[in-house]
Amino acid sequence: MTDKNAKKVPLLEVRDLHVEFHTRDGVAKAVNGVNYSVDSGETLAVLGESGSGKSVTAQAIMGILDMPPGKIPQGEILFRGEDMLKMSAEERRKIRGAKIAMIFQDALSSLNPVLSVGYQLGEMFRVHKGMSKKEAKAKAIELMDRVRIPAAKERVNDYPHQFSGGMRQRIMIAMALALEPDLIIADEPTTALDVTVQAQVMDLLAELQREYNMGLILITHDLGVVADVADKIAVMYAGRIVETAPVHELYKRPAHPYSRGLLDSIPRLDQKGQELYAIKGLPPNLLNIPAGCAFNPRCPMAQDTCRTDVPVLHQVTERDGDVLAGRGSACHFWKETIHG
């Protein structure tokens, strides 16, 4: 921190990323110029509905996108300042798992059903660190303890189907942590879990992140899940980021009509018996994204400009012009949205 001139390089930075899929019916533009960054010890929540491009972005970062049909025509993914898209397959493979790890929604299908959990956990150490079988197993038990799986020693030889959903997701977390990565990408990590288990798993994830000082990208469609653990939030719609904000501020004062609509459509106690606010219309068809602002057909504030000009991410300021740090809105009428 002493050298103020050295520009701090973020842990991960995505710059103007585009991803498209070539399908039978045409080109589906899944990601259309996404920018975001995460630092060590920071949690970025990426919020969006199905088809918003949130998971595709994550897959592009991990390098697990199916190509073809997927294609990255444009953009950079900088990990500690180096563009991973320009790396060789071998270099990327070394980063994957060791430096950047991923946790998926469906733990059961992400674990190999015919191998014991201990073997699969130990594999990370055998392959990446060249440990012996015995050492790897000891490490596996240690990890299972870490993610608070009861009786880890006895259960290390059990198979994935012998664990409950919550326990399996813990195993996935353990596996992601195995090589102490710098960044974890969690794609809907609690969506498949029950409410009472969701809280356990989310807390565990947040705690481990603090402990290891990792960067965490949390991808979700659930506004509630991210509120507790995220530092900042990026709302995606039709492959673009429409709003960025520190998490509390987004909930308090959304600056994009889409985020506001999402927040308003959650049932609130004082609205009981009334109609819920509903965003009209349907999520966009990625084969045929509306011109201008992709949200314009569903937006209550849309004007002619919205139908022709793609809005850039504006810096959001207070009424008197004070810059609100970390806040951006890709809406021509962000001022009207946030200041009413």
Partner 1 sequence: MAETGKKDEAVGEATPHVTEVVSSDASTTAEVEAVLDAPVERGEPILQVRNLVKHFPLNQGILFKRQVGAVKAVDDISFDLYQGETLGIVGESGCGKSTVARLLMTLETATSGEVFYKGEDITKLSGRALKAVRRNIQMVFQDPYTSLNPRMTVGDIIGEPFEIHPEVAPKGDRRKRVQELLDVVGLNPEYVNRYPHQFSGGQRQRIGIARGLALNPEIIVCDEPVSALDVSVQAQVINLMGKLQDEFNLSYIFIAHDLSIVRHISDRVGVMYLGKMAEIGTDAQIYEHPTHPYTQALLSAVPVPDPEAREGRERIILTGDVPSPANPPSGCRFRTRCWKAQDKCAEELPVLAIPEVFKGKDTPAAHDSACHFAEEKRVVPAA
Partner 2 sequence: MPEATEGTATLPAAEEQAVPKSQGRSDGAKPRSLWSDAWRDLRRNPLFVASAVLILLLLVMTAFPSLFTDASPRDGNLQGAFLKDPEYGKVFSAEWLGYDGQGRSIWARLVYGARASVIVGVVVTAAVTLFGGLVGMLAGYFGGWLDSLLSRLTDIFAGIPFLLGAMVVLTSFDVRSVWVVSAALVFLGWTQIARVMRGSVISCKQADYVVAAKALGAGTGRILLRHILPNAVAPVIVVATIALGGYISAEATLSYLGIGLADPVVSWGIDVSAGKDQLRNAPHVLLFPALMVSITVLAFIMLGDAVRNALDPKLR
Q: Which residues pair with 48 in a beta bridge?
A: none
Residues 209 to 268: which contact partner 2 by CB under 8 A? 221
Q: Which of 104, 105, 140 is nearest to 119 (CA)?
A: 140
Q: Which of 331, 201, 204 is nearest to 260 (CA)?
A: 331
Q: Which of 340, 301, 300 is nearest to 319 (CA)?
A: 340
Backbone angles phi, psi at 251, to 5 degrees: -70, -35
Residues 286 to 325: which contact partner 1 by CB under 8 A? 298
Nearer to partner 2, 291 or 325 (CB): 291
CA distances in angstroms from 81 to 37, 102, 158, listed in the order given: 11, 20, 41
Q: Which of 238, 241, 214 is nearest to 102 (CA)?
A: 214
**Is 28 a residue that touches partner 2 (CB under 8 A)?**
yes
Q: Which of 179, 310, 173, 157 is nearest to 241 (CA)?
A: 310
Structure tokens that stand for 191 in this block: 């969506």
Residues 155 to 184: which contact partner 1 by CB under 8 A? 164-167
Q: Choose the binding region for partner 1 from 25-33, 68-76, 191-199, 317-325 (rule: CB under 8 A).
A: 191-199
Residues 295 to 314: which contact partner 2 by CB under 8 A? 297
The one among 68, 113, 130, 267 contacting partner 1 by CB under 8 A: 267
Using CB distances below 5 to 8 A depending on partner kind, what does residue 246 bind out of partner 1, partner 2, none? none
Compute the least distance from the CB of residue 29 to partner 2, in Å.
13
- The 209-228 contact track toward partner 1, x by CB under 8 A, reads ------------xxxxx-xx
**Is 203 a residue that touches partner 1 (CB under 8 A)?**
yes
CB contact set of 171 (below 8 Å; sequence gap of 6+):
107, 111, 117, 120, 121, 144, 147, 149, 160, 163
**Is 319 a residue that touches partner 2 (CB under 8 A)?**
no
Nearer to partner 1, 139 or 240 (CB): 240
Q: What is the largest CA-CA distance in the chain?
A: 68
Residues that bind partner 1 (CB under 8 A): 49-50, 164-167, 194-200, 203, 221-225, 227-228, 247-248, 251-252, 261-263, 265-267, 269-273, 275-280, 282-283, 298
